């Protein structure tokens, strides 16, 4: 009897000005999806951090496979500053890598672009198996359990990475450009640990520029 293997793909950490972008894929037999519902799986943004940590291990036990890719600030900057690439295209390529590795019958992607059809076609160009059924939607993490599970893997991995940075460098806030604590951290640390920052972000560039101008004024 044919049992469809369904792959959900989602990301965490796209907006912050520091740390990795995490893209994860979660593969499950379609018949096992009710088990995810029984566990209380849904989009990671709707689950408390402690519940996410609990589900992180639980969902992996039900999976047929999973893949977690951590994209460094350096690779993000290269994509954003490139004429041919952008952040959505980078995410599409990483998603295709996950699909090619886990070999699902059906892949469901939470699209970062409002133009879901164009995003879908771009992902397809990198697939080894062109017969994979691709479902590309906005807010897919709210609608599909496999994508919800992928979002939990991505979010927990991203949060753990930020906690490691906090232990090493101190309070860096949420990492989002609008966070005053994060802004202050950038101003005081952009030279000490440049590798953790996304230098292509306007927030980073403006804060560094202002700090350097103030320094010249003081001289």
Q: Residue 211 pLDDT more than 70?
A: no
Class of domain 5-166: alpha beta
Do residues 159 and 167 make contact, with C-beta atoms less than 8 angstroms apart?
A: no
- Predicted TM-score (pTM) of the model is 0.92
Nearest of 196, 182, 175, 195 to residue 14 by alpha carbon: 175
Tell me if domain 5-166 and domain 169-213 are identical in fold: no
How confident is the model over 101-147, as pLDDT tens digits? 999 999 999 999 999 999 999 999 999 999 999 999 999 988 999 99
* Average pLDDT for 42-64: 89
Q: Work out the end-to-end distance of the chain between its first and last CA atoms, rounded to an integer number of angstroms.
A: 76
Question: What tokens were used for 205?
Answer: 């560039």
Superfamily grouping for domain 169-213: Ribonuclease hii. Domain 2 (1.10.10.460)
Which residues does residue 18 pair with via DSSP β-bridges, in sequence order? 197
Tokens 């640390």 sit at which residue? 189
Per domain, the residue ranges of the chain are: 5-166, 169-213
130/116 Cα distance (integer angstroms): 18
- SS3 of 71, please? strand
Q: Which residue has the tokens 């989002």?
A: 176
- The confidence score (pLDDT) of residue 214 equals 54
Phi (first) and psi of residue 109, to 5 degrees? -115, 135
Query: pLDDT grade, residue 217 (50/70/90)?
Result: very low
């Amino acid at each position: 009897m044919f049992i469809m293997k369904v792959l959900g793909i989602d990301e965490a950490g796209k907006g912050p000005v520091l740390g990795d972008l995490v893209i994860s894929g979660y593969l499950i037999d379609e018949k096992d999806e009710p088990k995810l519902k029984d566990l209380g799986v849904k989009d990671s943004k709707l689950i408390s951090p402690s519940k996410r940590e609990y589900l992180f291990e639980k969902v992996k036990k039900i999976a047929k496979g999973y893949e977690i890719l951590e994209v460094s600030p350096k690779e993000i900057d290269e994509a954003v500053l490139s004429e041919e690439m952008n952040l959505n295209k980078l995410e599409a390529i990483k998603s295709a890598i996950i699909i090619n590795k886990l070999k699902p019958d059906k892949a469901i992607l939470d699209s970062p672009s409002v133009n879901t059809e164009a995003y879908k076609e771009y992902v397809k160009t990198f697939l080894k198996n062109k017969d994979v059924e691709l479902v590309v939607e906005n807010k897919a993490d709210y609608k599909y359990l496999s994508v919800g599970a992928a979002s939990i893997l991505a979010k927990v991995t991203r949060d753990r990475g930020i906690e490691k940075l906090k232990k090493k460098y101190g309070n860096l806030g949420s990492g989002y450009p609008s966070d005053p604590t994060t802004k202050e951290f950038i101003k005081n640390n952009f030279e000490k640990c440049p590798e953790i920052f996304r230098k292509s972000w306007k927030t980073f560039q403006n804060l560094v520029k202002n700090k350097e101008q103030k320094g010249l004024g003081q001289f």
